Structure 1
Amino acid sequence: MWFSKSQEQVLQELKVNAATGLTTEEAKSRLEQYGPNKLEGKPKKSMILLFFAQLKDMLIYVLLGAAVVTLIIGEFIDALIILAVVILNAVIGVIQENKAEKSIEALQQMTTPKALVRRDGEVKEIGSEDVVPGDIVILDAGRFISADLRLLESANLQIEESALTGESVPTDKVADDIHTDPKTPIGDKSNMAFMSTLVTYGRGEGIAVATAMNTEMGKIAKILDDDNKELTPLQKKLEELGKVLGYIAIGICVLVFVIALFQKRDLFEMFLTAISLAVAAIPEGLPAIVAIVLALGVTRMSKINAIVKKLPAVETLGSVNIICSDKTGTLTQNKMSVVKHYISSSQNKDEPPVELIKSLVLCSDATFEQGKATGDPTEVALIVFGNENNLIKRSLDSEYKRVSEKPFDSDRKLMSTLNQTRSGFRVHTKGAIDQLLQISTSAVVDGEVVPLTEELKLQYLKAAEEMSDEALRVLGAAYKDTDRMIDPDEMEQDLTILGFVGMIDPPRLEVKDSIREAKMAGITPVMITGDHKNTAVAIAKELGIADSIDQSMTGAEIDQLSEEEFSQKINNYRVFARVSPEHKVKIIRAFKAKGNIVSMTGDGVNDAPSLKFADIGVAMGITGTDVSKGASDMILTDDNFTTIVHAIREGRNIYLNIRKTVIFLLSCNLGEVVAILLSILFFWPVPLLPTQILWVNLVTDTLPAIALGLDPGDKDVMRRKPRDPKESFFAKGAGLRAIIGGILIGTITLVAFYLGLHEFGYSLRSSNISEEAMTNARTMAFVVLASSQLFYSLSMRSATKFIFQVGFFTNKYLVGAIIIGLVLQFGVISIPFLASAFKVQFLSFVDWGWVIGLGLIPLIVNEFIKLFLRGKDSGEDRVST
């Protein structure tokens, strides 16, 4: 804890003389001991290892088993299709993983290329990689810091540390400070300077106390480098489903084969039937369909300024119920702005305080021209304030030429300039209002200069305190006229108070409405920032994130709690202030420990670890660093909080579409299983051949399933609570619908088979059935199985709304898929060589009437079931408003 030690102690511990620095030999020795001063990452996996890692999934195992099965029964095309799906999924996974982990490389690039150090009694410029612990590093304005330093000297030193703390205002540094509290936040370590932060003002010297991975930036790199590949909710559901379907497939094979043994049927025929049933039980197109649905969702999201890097993140967004957002640049505009002013006047205070603005602008070194700013953000805000009131800095500097100045000093907390006027000279002083009151003897009241009484001082202090309570940064101005050039030491005496202004980094205008919409959707917004508590709470109150300061907590307070205690209390807080990167990760983990699905937004390096550990990390595309983008799952190209809400809506609908696709596929496949199993159990002829089952799977498991995945979605989806991450695919009656649908499809397939036999005078229990009758019966069962599944897909668009409410033609892809499916089915039984291959025949007009009528039954029954489900839709699911 270098920040708790004096300069002498640090120099002694690191065995170096500040006046001469390290010798060349000692520096070389330490470089060998500590290694180069650069951030490291884990060795990269080879492409082959990455490829095989993608195959470690239960559903992939099931698909590979299905490919083997289809090869055994001679269906080579199906086997090739299944293998192609597996390989394609693995290739996509490799590409995503190879591109995703760029965080460490970006961090490495952020390390400064050159550093000024004192070695052998001379100041030398060396590569930052050669800086070692004990090096005396020289700091000046505009230079990036090459290692973590304990400051030895500081003169008006200010360092911009937003990469680590999130604060947009540079931090004052004082080398002589000593911090005894071991839990002092990074932003409060005024005697330290950190790697990759920027010196904005003043100068200083420091001794390198940590390099490479031992720096604060290195700690972030280590966090980013940790393996944290927890499965998303969708991946967990698909893995669970894959296991269940795998066991079902094996069970069916064994059951059918055992029954066939007892019934003394043709074992080879039953073996083929058992295998075809196993394939039927597994929707082998599911991974491909899910990938296609997610990919198309990604395309739609890119049109609303949300670029998704990892496909499962689309669905994960839909289940988010906590959005943790960085304050600076995400909820706020990342620029200081004057929002209030105070002058002692009984007249109209809305009039611009011209003399106050003049002093503040003239006593500033920043510039702001054509939308581009240079200099301290606080001074930039003053220049913009002047521009808004037609007091342009360039014009004022030209009219009132600066002839002398007394630079800002962190001890005085003041800055003064001496400017020429028509009648002589005027001193302009700006700084802390309490300091100004101590060196002033008069004040401007109602345009008149009057003595500064104690009563008047109290008025100024009270008004300043009110601004501070609103989390405004208060900056005052005073002046004095003189007829001669005076020394800088004489400037800050016997001044006249003009007034003061209040500044803040204001919230983004559109964010308030977005937060209100998020709350309507049952999502809790949480602010996490490195800024001060009062400032953070003020912004949070204005945006509607928090109601009182009691809902806020600092990083120091977090450190006082154990992880378990913190997790228990986490839901009581909406603002976390003065936090470090480690605190952010701890907050994310605590929310996740309570069963929440957490999104984290941010743009700085300090946000990168929490972006990675969140269920979905959202980086800002405009202001975001390469590190934050590399660690995130999604990037907002417009840096707009509103886009997150739109993305959540899209994510929710995509999940619903995937779920209805899964339920549809399982219903269809269950129907096939029911038809075959019942026929075997009751000693009936098998109504479908293996090739016919595989054909129906091809027709119904592709286009209609994909079309369901492209459904426009539910307009009321953002009026519901976020989905419980533990919720099964089969929750809220979805499993029951799948079973009912499957039983209906299987039953009507057997009915069609019976009717086909009955035309030739046979029944299901008849023996020695003629080949003509069997072909007719199987054709009817074949057509009913396919058509019923195609019609049934229409009813799957909504669990509670009728087809006419959803809109029959609102999903044109589905209507097209049904038409194409029916045309293909008609082609199979009407084109001679196809009919011969599938052992089917053309049906009579009456038979077509039967098969179409039977095929519509599952659709009609499912629509009637919705009558009973409508009353249950929403009571517990809708968000109360």
Structure 2
Amino acid sequence: MSGQNLKEPLVDKGSRPANFKVSAKDLTDFFNLDHIRDGTSLKNIHDKYEGVHGLLSALKTDSEKGITSATVQIRNIDFGSNKPIVREATTFWEFVWECFEDLTLRILIIAAIVSLVVGTLEDPEEGWLEGVAILIAILIVVLVTSINNYIKELKFRKLSEESQERNVTVIRDGKEKLISVFELCVGDIAKIGIGDVMPVDALVLWSQSLLADESSMTGESDHVKKSVDKAPFLLSGSQIADGAALAVVLAVGSNSYLGKNLESIMGEEEDETPLQKKLNYIAEFIGKIGLAMALLTFLVLLGYQVYSIVNDGWKNENLDGIVKSFIVAVTIVVVAVPEGLPLAVTLSLAFSVNEMKKQNNLVRHLDASETMGQATNICTDKTGTLTQNVMKVVAMCIGKDALYENTNKNDIEQEVIDYLGYHFCHNTAASYGMADGKEVFTGSRTEIALLKVAKEWGFDYEKLRSKDKIKLQIPFNSTLKRMYTVAEEDGKLYVFIKGASEVIVDMCSKHISKGGHTHDLDHNEKETIKREVISNYANRAYRTLGIAYKIVRKGDISKFFKEDGTPNIEVLERKMILLGVFGIQDPVRTGVPDAVRTCQNAGITVRMVTGDNPETAVAIARNCGIIDKNYKHTADDDTVMTGQEFRSRVGEDLVVSKENPKDKVVQNLQAFKQIITKLRVLARSSPQDKLILVTGLKQLNEVVAVTGDGSNDAPALKKSNVGFSMHIAGTQLAQEASDIILLDDNFASIVTAVLWGRNIYDCISKFIQFQLTVNIVALAMSFVGAVFLKVAPITAIQMLWVNLIMDTFAALALATEPPNISLLDRKPVKHDDSLLTADMFKTIIGQSIYQLVWLLFILFAIEKFESGFFYDLYNFDKTCTEDVSTDPSGATSSTKVCVPAPPEYKFTLFFQTFVMMQVFNEINCRKLKSSELNVFSGFFNNSLFILILIFTIVVQVCIIQFGGAFFQCSPLPWQQHVFCLCVGVGALIFGVIFRLVPVSLFSCLNVKAEEKVQAGGFTEMVRKKTTRRNPVHTKS
């Protein structure tokens, strides 16, 4: 795969590139933090290259035209490429070696070698078979496990790289181009804006109110002001908090500041997911029981050997017996310790993450997919998530009362049209151009809607929007809720402001008519505009946008800045003239109302958090089904609140927790509790309101999912249990803070995440049902056989095969079950719910009883029948002879004498029956609820499950028929195979009947798995767990 291998040389330190008058090492040194802080980096640029222009010349780039595409390859060779930095891939043979680090496997290998030596000495012809068979079985287990881990590693690496993919705008060949972040190279001129996370180290060439958040890189919490002359260095990994800039790329990939930091942490292992931690408790408990049973079995078998030695003296076969007893005991531990549990989680996550991507959920953090199964609240944005984010201006009001239901400009004075056109083209961060012969718009959908109107009216965006014309620009942010631009046009200096319509209307002292005349705008007229225009548009679910302007003298530009160089907002907003209010339609996405209804039926509360006014928010919420169609808002109703009303009751900001000084909590939690039972829509809200909402919900032990697309949503996204960012409209910072990226920006895709999250939990529960049943039966029969028959009924080699069935194969089969839509008909699983439910206990106990009865019957009773069905079945292949005798009178008679079946015949029948019951119990374990009587429902939806069942049965029959001494089996006639198959099928029939037993009888059994297993616990000591080597980052 593409990506920088950490073992490859990153910088050519010994030579200076031939085509450039600067080396990669020189550029990397500029971004040494100490050199930046003490001014050395800036001084070196001036001393060595005579300033920024000299450095650009050395890099053979241009601030206006950028680099040429022809030089990209040589730049990647000389300065390194910006391919994703990934940990060196774990090879297949490393996974193999990792398996052999398992302590019990090592002990088993040594024991097998001893068995091989002792057996060969006792019986040179066949004595070596058992030892070799065990070694081959170990090799097969190791290879299957390694192949599975290797395939999983490749899948996760691919997903990780895809999650880092994004586009950036650069100037190349004199034109703006949209390229992959991985294609950035040294010398590129990049456009930077609010919300961007710097993917490279860069030097600022031009900036406007630029602030960078370097806290994640340097630990400094305050935003750092960046400028061309004093602080031009932008560190990779830092986040643009405000402003815009053009910057030249100086260091990429592993040569960048972020790249060097990534190198130092790439070797760290990842934390386990919450579900894996829970399962460790169960694995620990089962492992201890397995060890106790193994020890008891070994002591019993050893006791028989000691008894033999005491009575008959030492014989060579005693050593062989002791070795075999030890091998059986170790094998019991191998089978008992359920290392398949964490494997099942990993497989289920890997399968789910891959399938979720196909359904527009790109999972960045593994634990998010399982956490979504427990979600109780979803706090969602409106624009682009609930709506289509296809903005179109459908109504406008010029001045205070010239209403239009379209964008027809026929009866509007040209002067007014010019003002609007200048405004739309200058006061925007959106842009358009041609790509592959097609017109492409980039930027905010709202701004694109206005830009399309300007284009419709005949304005040339590229001609109007020149960098030289822009004298001041303050990008839109959630605090101000408006955007400012001071631009020169037609020899005049214009101040343009757009934003929340009520805010814009209130700041204006005049308005312009459609005829081009300005008039005073008093308070009553402002209220009329709000009531008759803004509210009217909002009730029709239109987003409203206010547009204002003024013309000032060129000499007044200095008044717009404070002494410290920051914009003077108060002066900018004085004496504004209202150009108009625009109604922008953004229809609700198809499928969103159904998705909201599905979430509500699944016990998940959906809340909408939007910056729109209450009327617009209510109209959209009604259309989506978040609130009732007939809902009417009243002043004392908490169903719909504004951000200001919300904060006035719960507290203006979060406060430091008394219990944990590192945490922040809601100031008035009691008021929050009262509000939250009804609150469904939070209008005119800010990202801070969203953060308070999420924090309060988490304080009430709710599991919260949040959607966000803006940079200011990052704190709420990080605070949530699962953060969803937008792929299309989301900023890079929002995506970095999220756990899952919605590739289609669609709320309906969140339902997919809930469905797969719940399915993960169910798949693991199914596997636990299966594995605990196998463990109980295998351990019980091993001990019983050792005590009463002086031998384990299942040999070591057979146990290793069973271990492969119940761990790897069962994990693959049950952990990859596709979800059923009925999962959304139940309430979410809570944090403190039992991992093992009463239904599961019922299934485990019932199946264990069924299997133990049959196995005990085969082991102790079947051979005692002297006639009838079971006698004929067991002795079907018996060898008989005619014994002829003559009495004294000379008469002859014959008697049929039959040789009874040998002991291994019984153990083979036992082994075959045991495996068949596990195969069919696997089908039974597909259902978790007693009410689910049809275990074959959805059976054919999982082809992998069917293939594994068929494969297991075929291999098992081959082992019986052809395994011979290798597997210590005797071939069975087809009639006995049919019998074993029938007993296996009987497990299904018994399972259905047992489901009718009242589950209340088992409700007293309750196992919670919240206890944390201490590092270095039993399971970790005895069985080395496979390291999760996927490169998907865990949320901090």
Hey, what's the Cα distance between the residues in 1 that align with 2:575 and 2:664? 55
SS of 1:557's partner is coil
| Pairing of 1:215-226 with structure 2 (within 5 A) | none
Hey, what's the Cα distance between the residues in 2 that align with 1:55 and 1:578? 53
Aligned residue among 246, 251, 254 for 2:287 = 246
Deviation of the 1:730 alpha carbon: 1.8
| Pairing of 1:78-117 with structure 2 (within 5 A) | 78-84=137-143, 87=146
Letter in 2 for 1:547: V
Q: Structure 2 stretches of 5 or more lacking a match?
A: 1-36, 52-81, 116-129, 173-184, 199-206, 212-219, 241-255, 309-317, 426-430, 475-482, 499-503, 557-572, 628-638, 872-898, 1004-1036
Aligned residue among 781, 793, 815 for 1:687 = 793
Hey, what's the Cα distance between the residues in 1 that align with 2:443 and 2:952? 67
Q: Greater shift after overlay, 408-417 or 802-811?
A: 408-417
| Pairing of 1:311-710 with structure 2 (within 5 A) | 314-323=369-378, 330=385, 338=393, 340-342=395-397, 350=405, 354=409, 355=411, 358=417, 361-364=420-423, 366=425, 372-373=440-441, 380-385=448-453, 392-394=456-458, 434=505, 438-439=509-510, 457-458=525-526, 460-463=528-531, 466=535, 474-476=545-547, 499-502=580-583, 511=592, 513-525=594-606, 541=621, 544=626, 547-548=640-641, 549=643, 557-558=653-654, 566=665, 578-579=686-687, 595=701, 597=703, 599=705, 601-602=707-708, 618-623=724-729, 634-681=740-787, 686-698=792-804, 703=809, 706-710=812-816
Aligned residue among 283, 297, 300 for 1:256 = 297
Letter in 2 for 1:259: V
Hey, what's the Cα distance between the residues in 2 that align with 1:759 and 1:806? 36
Q: Greater shift after overlay, 346-355 or 516-525?
A: 346-355
Say whether the 8 Å CA contact 2:297–2:782 is kept in structure 1: no
SS of 1:776's partner is helix
Please report the TM-score for the alignment, with normalisation by the length of structure 1: 0.65
Q: Structure 1 stretches of 5 or more lacking a match?
A: 1-12, 29-39, 114-127, 131-141, 146-158, 166-172, 178-185, 195-203, 420-425, 481-485, 764-769, 875-881
Q: Aligned residues, how many?
A: 754
TM-aligned CA distance change 1:53 to 1:324, over 3 Å: farther
Cα-to-partner distance string for 1:714-739 (whole Å, 9 max, x where unaligned): 33101222222444542343244223
Say whether the 8 Å CA contact 1:50–1:94 is kept in structure 2: no
TM-aligned CA distance change 1:70 to 1:625, over 3 Å: farther
Say whether the 8 Å CA contact 2:838–2:999 is kept in structure 1: no
Cα-to-partner distance string for 1:840-865 (whole Å, 9 max, x where unaligned): 242484x5675445434432232123
Match of 1:739 in 2: 845
Deviation of the 1:696 alpha carbon: 4.1
TM-aligned CA distance change 1:734 to 1:551, over 3 Å: farther
TM-aligned CA distance change 1:47 to 1:528, over 3 Å: farther
Match of 2:911 in 1: 782
Hey, what's the Cα distance between the residues in 2 that align with 1:449 and 1:552? 42
Hey, what's the Cα distance between the residues in 2 that align with 1:726 and 1:59? 35
TM-aligned CA distance change 1:503 to 1:69, over 3 Å: farther
Aligned residue among 226, 237, 249 for 2:278 = 237
SS of 1:276's partner is helix
SS of 1:475's partner is strand
Letter in 1 for 2:356: M
Are 2:968 and 1:838 aligned? yes
SS of 1:163's partner is coil
TM-aligned CA distance change 1:755 to 1:59, over 3 Å: farther
TM-aligned CA distance change 1:410 to 1:359, over 3 Å: same
SS of 2:582's partner is strand
Q: Greater shift after overlay, 215-224 or 518-527?
A: 215-224
TM-aligned CA distance change 1:96 to 1:617, over 3 Å: farther
Aligned residue among 850, 859, 866 for 1:753 = 859
Are 2:362 and 1:281 aligned? no
Hey, what's the Cα distance between the residues in 2 that align with 1:453 and 1:585? 37
Letter in 2 for 1:161: I
Letter in 2 for 1:278: V
Are 2:205 and 1:76 aligned? no
Deviation of the 1:518 alpha carbon: 2.8
Match of 1:161 in 2: 194
SS of 2:296's partner is helix
Hey, what's the Cα distance between the residues in 2 that align with 1:80 and 1:92? 18
Say whether the 8 Å CA contact 1:319–1:652 is kept in structure 2: yes
Deviation of the 1:247 alpha carbon: 1.8
Say whether the 8 Å CA contact 2:510–2:578 is kept in structure 1: no
Hey, what's the Cα distance between the residues in 2 that align with 1:596 and 1:657? 23
Letter in 1 for 2:926: R
Letter in 2 for 1:840: S
SS of 1:652's partner is helix
TM-aligned CA distance change 1:648 to 1:815, over 3 Å: same
TM-aligned CA distance change 1:62 to 1:616, over 3 Å: farther
Deviation of the 1:76 alpha carbon: 1.0
TM-aligned CA distance change 1:505 to 1:665, over 3 Å: same
Letter in 1 for 2:783: L
Match of 1:301 in 2: 356
- Alignment root-mean-square deviation, CA: 6.6
Hey, what's the Cα distance between the residues in 2 that align with 1:98 and 1:833? 40
Are 2:984 and 1:855 aligned? yes
TM-aligned CA distance change 1:591 to 1:232, over 3 Å: farther
Letter in 1 for 2:457: K
Cα-to-partner distance string for 1:812-849 (whole Å, 9 max, x where unaligned): 644554444444444444x366377423242484x567
Letter in 2 for 1:241: I
Aligned residue among 993, 996, 1020 for 1:867 = 996
Say whether the 8 Å CA contact 2:687–2:716 is kept in structure 1: no
Hey, what's the Cα distance between the residues in 1 that align with 2:652 and 2:149? 45
TM-aligned CA distance change 1:782 to 1:340, over 3 Å: same
Q: Greater shift after overlay, 736-745 or 303-312?
A: 303-312
Q: Percent identity?
A: 23
TM-aligned CA distance change 1:626 to 1:815, over 3 Å: same
Hey, what's the Cα distance between the residues in 2 that align with 1:70 and 1:629? 53
Match of 2:820 in 1: 714
Cα-to-partner distance string for 1:116-141 (whole Å, 9 max, x where unaligned): xxxxxxxxxxxx999xxxxxxxxxxx
Cα-to-partner distance string for 1:388-423 (whole Å, 9 max, x where unaligned): xxxx221x789xx99xx999988997989999xxxx
Hey, what's the Cα distance between the residues in 2 that align with 1:843 and 1:475? 87
Letter in 1 for 2:285: V
SS of 1:341's partner is strand
Say whether the 8 Å CA contact 1:297–1:650 is kept in structure 2: yes
Letter in 2 for 1:839: C
Q: Greater shift after overlay, 859-868 or 49-58?
A: 49-58
SS of 1:794's partner is helix
Hey, what's the Cα distance between the residues in 1 that align with 2:583 and 2:232? 38
Say whether the 8 Å CA contact 2:723–2:738 is kept in structure 1: yes
Say whether the 8 Å CA contact 2:388–2:587 is kept in structure 1: yes
Say whether the 8 Å CA contact 2:376–2:603 is kept in structure 1: yes
Say whether the 8 Å CA contact 1:304–1:643 is kept in structure 2: yes
Deviation of the 1:467 alpha carbon: 7.5
